Structure 1
Amino acid sequence: MSYRYGEYRDGPDPLAPPYDVRSALDQMGDAVLSGSNPGHALRDLLKQGLPGAQDRRGLDDLLREVRRRRRELRERGRLDGTLERARALLDKAIGQERSELFPDPSDDARLRESELDGLSDDTASAIQELSTYQWRSAAARQTFEELRGLLRREVLDSQFRGMREALANPDPAAMERVREMMSELNDMLDRDARGEHTQDDFENFMSKYEDMFPESPRNLEELVDTLARRAAATQRLLASLTPRQREELNALINQTLEQAGMGEQMRRLGESLYSRRPDLAWNTPERLTGDDPMGMGDAVTALDELADLTQLEAALRQDYPGARLDDIDEGAIRRALGRAAVDDLEALRQIERELEQQGYLRRQRGKLELTPKAVRRLGETALRRVFASLESGRRGDHDQVDAGAAGELTGSSRPWRFGDEQPIDVVRTVVNGVRRGGRGAVTLSVDDFEVAETERRTAAAVCLLVDLSYSMALRGTWAAAKQTAMALQALVASKFPQDSVQIIGFSNYARVLQPDELAGLEWDMVQGTNLHHALLIAGRHLDRHPDFEPVVLVVTDGEPTAHLRRNGSAAFEWPPTQETLELTLAEVDKMTRRRATLNVFMLAEDERLKEFVNEVARRNGGRVFSSSADRLGEYVVSDFLRTRRAR
């Protein structure tokens, strides 16, 4: 036996390495850390594509291909080609008849010329009037039959793609077979409407008329979809012509069908198709800008493809609420762009599914969210970015091999808790499994695991207060603040697990932000910088940990412009009222009495903000940092590490 080897062409390479879903998460992470939410980050990832072993195209690449294809179709030709060609053949036949009559001096010849002179200017009417005319010229008779054959082929081809080839020869038997097909098709649709249709009926029908349906539908639903789209394209062709052209072509279509004995069957079919697919754009005009006249069948095919491409473009944009890749019609992708585009789309769908199945994404009430697992990974990424910009410090400032071990091992252990990164006590874990399971094979459950305890270092109660007001987005500082919050959360969780960290966001009100909420966090579209409320919440956190060392960090780009009233509502005024400033500074004084130092990171050079933070520093003894957005994370993390080393 001999073998031949070549490039694999039947879809994706089955031996290619799978796309690493963690790389997809990291690509999303770049957008999330730049201030985007998970839904937008995933959409951007799918638009850009998946670089890697197979370099899959993204939605933007497919969208460009669709738009290029639409331009090509629009520039292909004009829609009135059948009318133009019919008129040309009609004029040719009349000219040939006149040439035959001119030398004849008889009254019959003059009467015939008079009849030709009185023909209607309308092409369809003229053809109808000449249908009973007795041609003297054999050439004219042949040209007129050529005209009628052209119309018959074009009209039927506009309804059934590929019919033009089936009727290339003027064979009465071929026309009779078309009539039988239409009758059986209508009967099958009627049985389906009554609920009596079976797949066997469809297969019997296709075994007889398979050559008339090059699309090779697999069932009645696919056949109806194909015919309905083509019928709708025919209606769009008529709607795209001028009123006079529309009237002429419509008359030609009806006249041709009646002469072929198919008028009633075609009306039945059209009504059935419209009732099944009223959602198609049946009468929407479409403009083609090319110079070459197109036959009716070709024009309908072009309009059918244009309708497909229009719907495909809307689906590929994914810019409507609740958009999913499953909304994109795979059949439309295949028809428009080929098999390779279908493979690219399936790769994108697979990434979306894998991110959910592997526990990185979840949908809550239709909204896409990152899971704690994904947030931890992004927090570590944010922390690596911050450390990459820090200058080398003393040993111990950065990564440590036993991340999460707060000190020397004490020799004791405790049950494992979610989030623990201390080393597993293997012996005690296995012993717990043996005790629980008794004799035989030992199986471990989550409750069996214990971790080795370490010496306890001084713990800190950490509060990071982050401004969420709309001005953060306007100044372009929101992404840096979000990344800094995630980096600090990851640093405390990994390097200082004994610390208690609380991140508080504030705009017109303040609220505690959970770790898994940070990645999807966005600024608030409201006015107000309620630092007063944020300090109140931070004070409660510090009071819950009286034995912890207090660490308070404030990131803001504006002076306080709101405070909390006694009834719990927020009061906003700009410029800030004296009451807002006094209440905020009163909370600063409370922080001072708690021995909590407030370090403020300014993200704007506003004079009123400088005046306020200088007063905070004077009252509290904390420091003021005037940081650019791109160095905010470096400043906050460095200050936190300095504070923890000092403790």
Structure 2
Amino acid sequence: MARHPGRRSRYGAWQGGPDPLAPPYDVRSAVDQLGEEVLAGSSLRDALRDLLHRGPDGERGHGLDDLHERARRMRREALRRGRLDGTITRAQALLDQALAAEREALAQRADDDARFAEAQLDALPRSTSRAVQELSEYDWTSDEARADYQRILDELRDDVLGQRFEGMRDALQGADPARDPQAAAALQSMLADLNELLGQHARGEDTTDSFAEFMREHGEFFPEQPQDVDELVDLLARRAAAGERLMRSLTPSQRAELAGLMEQALGQAGVAEQMAALSENLRALRPDLSWGRGEQGRGEEPLGYGEATGALAEVAELDDLLDQLGQEHAGATLDDVDVEAVERQLGRGAADDVRRLRELERELRRQGWLSGSAADTVLSPKALRRLGSTALQRVFARIESASRGTHDVQSAGAAGEATGASRAWEFGDEQPLDVVRTVSNAVRRNASAAGGAVALAVEDFEVVETERRAGAAVALCVDMSFSMVSEGRWGPMKQTALALSHLVATQFPQDALQIIGFGRYALTLSAGELAAAEPDFVQGTNLQHALQLARRHLRKHSDGDPVVLVVTDGEPTAHLLPDGEAAFAWPPRAETLRATVDEIDQLTRYGAVLNVFMLGEDPSLRRFVDAMARRSGGRVFTPSAHDLGQYVVQDYLRARRGRRPGR
């Protein structure tokens, strides 16, 4: 390779946005993490929120929680920069310095005017702002004292105008609007035009041309070059709000001091009224900003007006970021996060983290794992299949080794036991081929062929005849009452229902499964609705309503074997009244038990198998389910929450093999 002595390579951080070499988030891994949370009992909304907050596995420290904590630390550091009353202490120091120089000059004079001037100085109020006001007409003897006094007003005026208008100092080019009529006229003209422009905007008028004209005439005051009135309002309002927050951060006496000093400093320049009107206009246009919130500076160094308002403006932006990164308000999404503000405050790496989290959320939708709106996100059928498969694998992993296996059913449950007979194959047949009869037909047909070669033809094929196996109508009733959440049974219940749903959908499609959740009321649920379901903290266990819905499902699928599986951890405490409202009582009332038993009897007369999976060891629940089993001829299982899925799936598979309880 040729060498180029004069050429050097320089390396540095990538400056063109997100690092193109950064590994992308593993979307499938993210889906599995969402599934873990859902199977543990979380809703999809909470699971997705947790994923984004902690960051995907392998990316710890790159989630919203980490960014939130960094923003909180920076907020604390901004408030530790110094004391917010530095403007007042600076004015007091300059005033003391001016008075000392003036007293020294007066002491060198022996006339009565000097003694009178000393008496005037002695009579000055203790308030800095009031003393400065009274000295506005004082005839200074000392030039040094006069200069120090004028610095109080000049520095404060320059700080206030420089803080509100970034290009003020450059635009005025060192001119003093307090003593330069031309500079004062330029400043007053800009403020008057600005207030007129904001007034038009507040009235809803079209300000396109007015804004363009304003920027042509006064653009030197705004080096940020806002593109429209909204940008201009946002720019100025945030700075005005920072100034107001400074006032609110001071004690009442300090606030009065600073307000008095500002009134005199801006009044000298002839802009006090225009500045007050500007603040009112901006506040009306942007009432959402933190105008009235005060802060407590914790540093030792006194901060000037510009430094103090700058720190408070930074705190305000960090407050907005903390709210955006917290994602606590209803309908919050990552699109709410101001990435440019993140980059300004937390750095480019943090901004890239937000962009990558946004990309992950978009990829989950683009690849078909999530569907629905941002406010109503649900797992897609694709994600539910993956989630159900995971749940089923976990269930099978707990089943005894003798029962383990793939549980594949090649005919998807379409056929039963072989009858011993066969028939000619027809297009669409799913029965297994009868290989012996198929080959025998070909041999007989080709017996006279030369060379003994055997060739299969379509008419040679025969299939094994099987008994047609009836499907099952299965109602899985799952308790969704408050106690299931408080006792840690919500997640296992979800996992069980999703596992059974996936098993039926993939291996026994001729079966009709209906999931029914019940609390104070019962309702039918799809697998997706169950996965997204959140706990209902209303008390009530309305088994009667659940069995009523189960009976409707069984009658709708009357050609299938009726099976009802009930998962509960509490005896019935609610039932439906004739008007459809639920009546709740604890301890259970006799009317509730009678209504529930009536539904059990109707299911029994219909021929349904009714098995109960009892969670918990409540004696009254035990008595009820035992009586329920005796009345219906069903069985009672008492699994732990950890083993619930194994028990339910095994019982279902046992029923599919024809070994029904009691037979």
Pairwise TM-score range, normalised by the shorter structure = 0.7 to 0.9
1:236–1:284 CA contact under 8 A, matched in 2: yes
Single out whichever of 192-201 and 34-43 deviates more from structure 2. 192-201
Single out whichever of 159-168 and 310-319 deviates more from structure 2. 159-168
Amino acid at match of 1:125: R
Q: Which residue of 2 aligns with 1:190?
A: 196
Q: Which residue of 2 aligns with 1:536?
A: 548
Q: Which residue of 1 aligns with 2:355?
A: 346
TM-score, normalization by structure 2: 0.81
Matched, 1:31 2:37: yes
Matched, 1:44 2:53: no
Give the 3 Å change call, closer, same or farther, for CA 462–177 of structure 1 in structure 2. Answer: same
Residues 289-304 of structure 1 aligned to structure 2 (within 5 Å): 289-304=298-313
1:254 to 250, 263, 280: 263
Matched, 1:314 2:296: no
Cα-to-partner distance string for 1:215-270 (whole Å, 9 max, x where unaligned)? 55444432321211111221222233233222221121111112234334434433
Q: Which residue of 2 aligns with 1:433?
A: none
3-state DSSP of counterpart to 1:493: helix
Shift of 1:2: 5.6
Q: Which residue of 1 aligns with 2:508?
A: 496
3-state DSSP of counterpart to 1:412: coil
Q: Which residue of 2 aligns with 1:398?
A: 406
2:472–2:512 CA contact under 8 A, matched in 1: yes
Amino acid at match of 2:275: M
Cα-to-partner distance string for 1:525-561 (whole Å, 9 max, x where unaligned)? 4443232333333234334444433332210101223
* CA distance in structure 2 between the partners assigned to 1:206 and 1:62 by the alignment: 39
Single out whichever of 86-95 and 558-567 deviates more from structure 2. 558-567
Give the 3 Å change call, closer, same or farther, for CA 563–223 of structure 1 in structure 2. Answer: closer
Shift of 1:173: 12
Amino acid at match of 2:256: E
* CA distance in structure 2 between the partners assigned to 1:370 and 1:174 by the alignment: 70
* CA distance in structure 2 between the partners assigned to 1:534 and 1:600 by the alignment: 13
2:471 to 444, 459, 462: 459
Give the 3 Å change call, closer, same or farther, for CA 511–155 of structure 1 in structure 2. Answer: closer
Q: Which residue of 2 aligns with 1:73?
A: 78
1:56–1:344 CA contact under 8 A, matched in 2: no
Shift of 1:182: 5.7
TM-score, normalization by structure 1: 0.83
Give the 3 Å change call, closer, same or farther, for CA 589–78 of structure 1 in structure 2. Answer: same
Single out whichever of 290-299 and 557-566 deviates more from structure 2. 557-566
Single out whichever of 146-155 and 39-48 deviates more from structure 2. 146-155
Single out whichever of 88-97 and 374-383 deviates more from structure 2. 374-383
3-state DSSP of counterpart to 2:125: coil
Give the 3 Å change call, closer, same or farther, for CA 170–139 of structure 1 in structure 2. Answer: farther
Matched, 1:597 2:602: no
Shift of 1:43: 1.9
* CA distance in structure 2 between the partners assigned to 1:320 and 1:128 by the alignment: 48
Matched, 1:57 2:78: no
Cα-to-partner distance string for 1:120-140 (whole Å, 9 max, x where unaligned)? 322223223334444433433
* CA distance in structure 2 between the partners assigned to 1:105 and 1:468 by the alignment: 97
Cα-to-partner distance string for 1:552-606 (whole Å, 9 max, x where unaligned)? 2210101223344566554444333445434534544454455543221111101
1:375 to 376, 381, 384: 384
Amino acid at match of 2:206: G
* CA distance in structure 1 between the partners assigned to 2:658 and 2:577 by the alignment: 38
Unaligned runs of 5+ in 2: 1-6, 417-423, 431-463
3-state DSSP of counterpart to 1:552: strand
Amino acid at match of 2:428: S
2:124–2:131 CA contact under 8 A, matched in 1: yes
Give the 3 Å change call, closer, same or farther, for CA 298–365 of structure 1 in structure 2. Answer: closer
Q: Which residue of 2 aligns with 1:425?
A: none
1:149 to 141, 151, 154: 154
Q: Which residue of 1 aligns with 2:335?
A: 326
* CA distance in structure 1 between the partners assigned to 2:44 and 2:295 by the alignment: 38
* CA distance in structure 1 between the partners assigned to 2:176 and 2:582 by the alignment: 86
3-state DSSP of counterpart to 2:495: helix
Radius of gyration: which is bigger? 2
Q: Which residue of 2 aligns with 1:608?
A: 620
Give the 3 Å change call, closer, same or farther, for CA 414–283 of structure 1 in structure 2. Answer: farther
1:120 to 125, 148, 151: 125
1:518 to 517, 530, 533: 530
Q: Which residue of 1 aligns with 2:629?
A: 617
Q: Which residue of 2 aligns with 1:281?
A: 290
1:628 to 627, 637, 640: 640
* CA distance in structure 1 between the partners assigned to 2:93 and 2:35 by the alignment: 65
Shift of 1:93: 1.6
Q: Which residue of 1 aligns with 2:27?
A: 21
Amino acid at match of 2:124: L
Amino acid at match of 1:383: L
* CA distance in structure 2 between the partners assigned to 1:614 and 1:234 by the alignment: 74
Give the 3 Å change call, closer, same or farther, for CA 606–394 of structure 1 in structure 2. Answer: closer
* CA distance in structure 1 between the partners assigned to 2:347 and 2:146 by the alignment: 45
Matched, 1:413 2:413: no
2:168–2:221 CA contact under 8 A, matched in 1: no
Give the 3 Å change call, closer, same or farther, for CA 579–274 of structure 1 in structure 2. Answer: closer
Q: Percent identical across equivalent pairs?
A: 51
Q: Which residue of 2 aligns with 1:418?
A: none
Matched, 1:137 2:142: yes
Q: Which residue of 1 aligns with 2:456?
A: none
* CA distance in structure 1 between the partners assigned to 2:16 and 2:487 by the alignment: 51
CA RMSD in angstroms comes to 3.6
* CA distance in structure 1 between the partners assigned to 2:475 and 2:54 by the alignment: 38
Count of matched residue positions in the alignment of Structure 1 and Structure 2? 606
* CA distance in structure 1 between the partners assigned to 2:138 and 2:593 by the alignment: 101
1:410–1:454 CA contact under 8 A, matched in 2: no
1:233–1:301 CA contact under 8 A, matched in 2: yes
Amino acid at match of 1:184: M
2:193–2:214 CA contact under 8 A, matched in 1: no
* CA distance in structure 2 between the partners assigned to 1:479 and 1:18 by the alignment: 30
Shift of 1:489: 0.3
1:11–1:340 CA contact under 8 A, matched in 2: no
* CA distance in structure 2 between the partners assigned to 1:334 and 1:182 by the alignment: 36
1:166–1:174 CA contact under 8 A, matched in 2: no
* CA distance in structure 1 between the partners assigned to 2:567 and 2:144 by the alignment: 92
2:473–2:554 CA contact under 8 A, matched in 1: yes
2:184–2:270 CA contact under 8 A, matched in 1: no
Amino acid at match of 1:64: E
* CA distance in structure 2 between the partners assigned to 1:202 and 1:256 by the alignment: 26
Shift of 1:172: 7.5
Q: Which residue of 1 aligns with 2:164?
A: 159
* CA distance in structure 2 between the partners assigned to 1:126 and 1:564 by the alignment: 80
Shift of 1:170: 7.5
1:56–1:347 CA contact under 8 A, matched in 2: no
Unaligned runs of 5+ in 1: 416-452
Q: Which residue of 1 aligns with 2:564?
A: 552
2:18–2:355 CA contact under 8 A, matched in 1: no
* CA distance in structure 2 between the partners assigned to 1:349 and 1:205 by the alignment: 42
Give the 3 Å change call, closer, same or farther, for CA 77–404 of structure 1 in structure 2. Answer: farther
Amino acid at match of 1:349: R
* CA distance in structure 2 between the partners assigned to 1:301 and 1:371 by the alignment: 48
2:246 to 237, 243, 246: 237
